Amino acid sequence: MTDAPEYVEIPKEVERDRYGRPLIIPPGGGKPKPYTRCTTYVGALEDTYNLGGWQQRMAVAGIAMRPDLHLRAVSLGKPPAKDGTAEAEAVEKKWKSEMNKLVDEAREAAAASASATIGTSLHSLTEVIDRGRDLDWATIPERYRVHLKNYIEATRSLHAVAVERFVVNDEIEVGGTADRFVTIEGYDGLFVADLKTGSVKYGAGKIAMQLAVYANSEAYDPATGTRTPPPGIRRDLGVVIHLDAVTGKCELLWANIAAGWEAVKEAGWVRQWRKRKNLLVPAHLAPEQPALIGDQSALAQHGTEPTTDADGTGLAPIVPEESEVIDPATGEIVNRPPDATTVAIEQAIANAASRDDLARLWDEAHARGLWTDAMQAAATNRMSQLQATA
């Protein structure tokens, strides 16, 4: 990418909360709200087995290399005993905190972060190249000059339109920085491109998802909250620029981001599933025929799986007809006249004090196969009242 890019400089950095999440002005304006980082969102489906094994090996190697770290491990001792008291929990919390610090130091001692440091530096230097600026080759360590020369050669057919552009997807409330938006000689449209300096052997799925999010997002200006759709963006293919931080080899790879976007949708489901509550309850509090025992396959057969309403309430109908419910014991749809429990649920919906109260009611009624269209309409109406009051 030797051409000077046609990009607009972002006037300010995106502000973040204490968890590192980008704070984004909603499309209609108002107070900024935290969006999920792209890498966090797509990580819901990531297989971390190999990464976890590598981190463990680095920690063990670091302790073996540093007697002071070995001594620190001995001083921390075994995991403290648990007896259910607040004092024991406090001791365990402190032990975990100190042990986590030791693990981090041990990985550093084994140069576990060296490749990450090199990768960050290569990212910065390639950014200079793609912005059409000159590198001061004399200041670059000789062993890494070949990396940059290989990068220039491998990307000659790519032309940067935007460099390090922050984008947001308001549908899934995700934000992240795309390395490049590029045109490619001989191809139509605009492609999202990402520079990877580590191994891509095990990360193909996450990479395809990450690029898919960028391709289905809009450029975001943190100063004004303005969104700008990338013109002519391709949502079938993305480009991975793999610049190996160890060998210096650079190659271009196609990423199937159409498939990646399908996986992104699944990641959203997984993230919601992990937030589900009331999945385990004491037996003496469970209904006579708990839904946990019933055959839930009928939900999919009748098109009654819970979905999220467009207004974001999460209160979606789970039965096809107002008077029909699912028998949790058999999974069949049966007609049941309103009983005291149904009346109680409807009254609780009318008296709900918050969105969380409505969500809990939906969870409980759905688990027992009692949620109806009438309840859905009442919940939607109550949500509108709460929003108007707020």
Q: Say which range, 22-31, 285-294, 362-371, has the weakest mean pLDDT.
A: 285-294
Banded model confidence at residue 44, pLDDT cuts 50, 70, 90 = confident
Radius of gyration for the chain, computed over Cα atoms and rounded to the nearest angstrom: 27
Calpha distance 311→58 (Å, rounded): 47
Residue 213 and residue 174 share a domain: yes
Residue 370 and residue 292 share a domain: yes
Check whether 116 has a pLDDT greater than 90: no
Check whether 169 has a pLDDT greater than 50: yes
| 2 is a domain residue | no
Check whether 11 has a pLDDT greater than 50: no
Higher pLDDT, 311 or 53: 53
- State residue 92's pLDDT score: 92
**Amino acid making up residue 363:** D
Residue 337 and residue 353 share a domain: yes
Which of 109, 129, 154 finishes a domain?
A: 109
Check whether 96 has a pLDDT greater than 50: yes
Which of 77, 109, 141 finishes a domain?
A: 109
Domain total for the chain?
3
- State residue 338's pLDDT score: 52
CATH code, domain with 250: 3.90.320
Higher pLDDT, 99 or 288: 99
Residue 103 and residue 234 share a domain: no
Calpha distance 103→80 (Å, rounded): 17
Banded model confidence at residue 178, pLDDT cuts 50, 70, 90 = very high
| 209 is a domain residue | yes
DSSP string, 337-390: ---HHHHHHHHHHHH--SHHHHHHHHHHHHHTT---HHHHHHHHHHHHHHHHH-
**Amino acid making up residue 160:** A
Contacts of 330 (CB under 8 A, 6+ apart): 294, 295
- Other Cβ atoms closer than 10 A to 99: 15
| 15 is a domain residue | no
Give the 3-state secondary structure of residue 68. helix
Q: What is the mean pLDDT of the chain?
A: 82
| 160 is a domain residue | yes
Residue 57 and residue 34 share a domain: no
* Contact in structure between 36 and 21 (CB atoms under 8 Å): yes
- State residue 46's pLDDT score: 78
Range of the domain at 344: 283-389
Check whether 313 has a pLDDT greater than 80: no
CA angle centred on 265, ends 261 and 267, rounded to 5° = 110
* Contact in structure between 307 and 318 (CB atoms under 8 Å): no
Structure tokens at 92: 């365990």
| 68 is a domain residue | yes
Q: Say which range, 15-29, 31-45, 121-135, 356-370, has the weakest mean pLDDT.
A: 356-370
Banded model confidence at residue 352, pLDDT cuts 50, 70, 90 = confident
- pTM of the prediction? 0.64
Q: What is the pLDDT of residues 204-231, one digit of tens each?
A: 999 999 999 999 999 999 999 999 999 9
Residue 142: exposed, middle, or buried by beta-carbon count in 10 A (0-12, 13-18, 19+)?
exposed
| 380 is a domain residue | yes
Phi, psi dihedrals of residue 132, rounded to the nearest 5°: 80, 20
- Other Cβ atoms closer than 10 A to 239: 23
Check whether 157 has a pLDDT greater than 70: yes
Contacts of 268 (CB under 8 A, 6+ apart): 41, 44, 172
Check whether 306 has a pLDDT greater than 50: no
- State residue 355's pLDDT score: 80
Average the pLDDT over 39-46 and give the result. 88
Residue 32 and residue 157 share a domain: yes
Residue 58 and residue 42 share a domain: no
DSSP string, 70-107: HHHHHHH-SPPP--S-HHHHHHHHHHHHHHHHHHHHHH
Token match 């649920």: residue? Answer: 345
* Contact in structure between 22 and 39 (CB atoms under 8 Å): no
- State residue 275's pLDDT score: 86
Banded model confidence at residue 390, pLDDT cuts 50, 70, 90 = low
| 65 is a domain residue | yes
Residue 209 and residue 136 share a domain: yes
Which residue from 7, 332, 389 is spatially nearest to 183, judged by alpha carbons? 7
Which of 92, 109, 126 finishes a domain?
A: 109
| 59 is a domain residue | yes
Residue 292 and residue 373 share a domain: yes
pLDDT more than 90, % of the chain? 49
Residue 200 and residue 218 share a domain: yes
Start-to-end C-alpha separation, the chain: 51
Check whether 10 has a pLDDT greater than 50: no
* Contact in structure between 383 and 315 (CB atoms under 8 Å): yes
Residue 359 and residue 241 share a domain: no
Residue 292 and residue 257 share a domain: no
Q: How far is CA 324 from CA 248, 308, 327, 334, 344, in A?
A: 64, 20, 10, 6, 17
Check whether 292 has a pLDDT greater than 60: no
